[in-house]
């Protein structure tokens, strides 16, 4: 199952890259046409805005899978494995509830805006809110999978923290752990790169 999810995330990353490429082409092409030929691509602003929304939600989905969201694990890291397991389970249940709220809200907005046409393209404005629907469903599936892994004991102790500290906090923790003046000097050089 993990391999299938990883493949799906790679496909989502490819979709994000394609959306970003289209967005860059639309915006750059519009700038060149406006300043060079005194014309422009009418739909570029609207479509690029929609693509940006979709990129944001799809990127958040990939970050959820890779545990790349930033957070503070100062307290959780000090807990014994059972405490970390309880905190991880509680955080996953909380996120599932928030995803349910997001799903309800996006579903209501999608229904409301189904017949509303965008000013330039004339497409349905439901496209905007559908991004939240897709994200909430796929993120909930990921979280349920991780929760099942947690409850069945298939989560290793090093996976019990669901977030990632910032790079600066990681470097600081390494410096404090090593404590030597040479380590401080090396860490300062790494931060300067």
- Same domain, residue pair 68 and 36: yes
The pLDDT value recorded for residue 102 is: 96
pLDDT of residue 94: 95
Among the listed residues 66, 96, 79, 58, the one whose alpha carbon sits nearest the alpha carbon of residue 162: 66
What is the domain count for the chain?
2
Per-residue model confidence (pLDDT) at position 173:
66
Those residues whose C-beta lies under 8 Å from the C-beta of residue 168, and which sit 6 or more positions away, are 191
Q: CB neighbours of 155 closer than 8 A, spacing ≥ 6?
A: 85, 88, 146, 149
pLDDT of residue 155: 82
Q: What is the predicted pLDDT for the residue at 40?
A: 81
Instruction: Give the distance between the most distant pair of CA atoms in the chain.
Output: 66
Indicate the pTM of the whole model.
Answer: 0.78
Question: Looking at per-residue confidence, does 17 or 68 come out higher?
Answer: 17
Confidence class for position 164, pLDDT limits 50, 70, 90: low
Q: Are residues 169 and 157 in the same domain?
A: no
- 134 neighbors 101 (Cβ within 8 angstroms): no
Where do we find the tokens 């969201």? 69
pLDDT at 56 over 90: yes
Residue 80 lies in domain: 2-162
- 106 and 151 part of one domain: yes
The answer on 152 and 131 residing in a single domain is: yes
Same domain? For 29 and 123 the reply is: yes
User: For position 166, what pLDDT does the model report?
Assistant: 61
Residue 179 has pLDDT above 80, yes or no: no
């Amino acid at each position: 199952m993990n391999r299938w999810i990883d493949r799906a995330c790679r496909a989502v990353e490819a979709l994000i890259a394609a959306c970003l490429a289209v967005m860059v082409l639309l915006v750059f092409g519009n700038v060149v046409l406006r300043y060079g030929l005194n014309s422009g691509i009418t739909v570029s602003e609207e479509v690029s805005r929609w693509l940006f929304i979709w990129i944001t939600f799809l990127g958040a989905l990939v970050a959820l899978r890779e545990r790349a969201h930033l957070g503070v694990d100062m307290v959780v890291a000090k807990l014994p494995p059972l405490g970390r397991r309880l905190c991880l389970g509680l955080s996953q249940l909380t996120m599932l509830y928030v995803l349910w709220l997001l799903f309800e809200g996006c579903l209501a907005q999608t229904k409301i805006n189904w017949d509303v046409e965008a000013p330039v393209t004339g497409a349905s404005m439901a496209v905007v809110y559908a991004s939240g629907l897709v994200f909430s469903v796929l993120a909930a599936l990921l979280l349920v999978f991780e929760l099942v892994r947690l409850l069945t004991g298939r989560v290793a102790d090093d996976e019990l923290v669901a977030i990632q500290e910032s790079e600066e906090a990681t470097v600081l923790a390494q410096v404090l752990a090593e404590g030597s003046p040479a380590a401080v000097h090396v860490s300062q050089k790494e931060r300067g790169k």
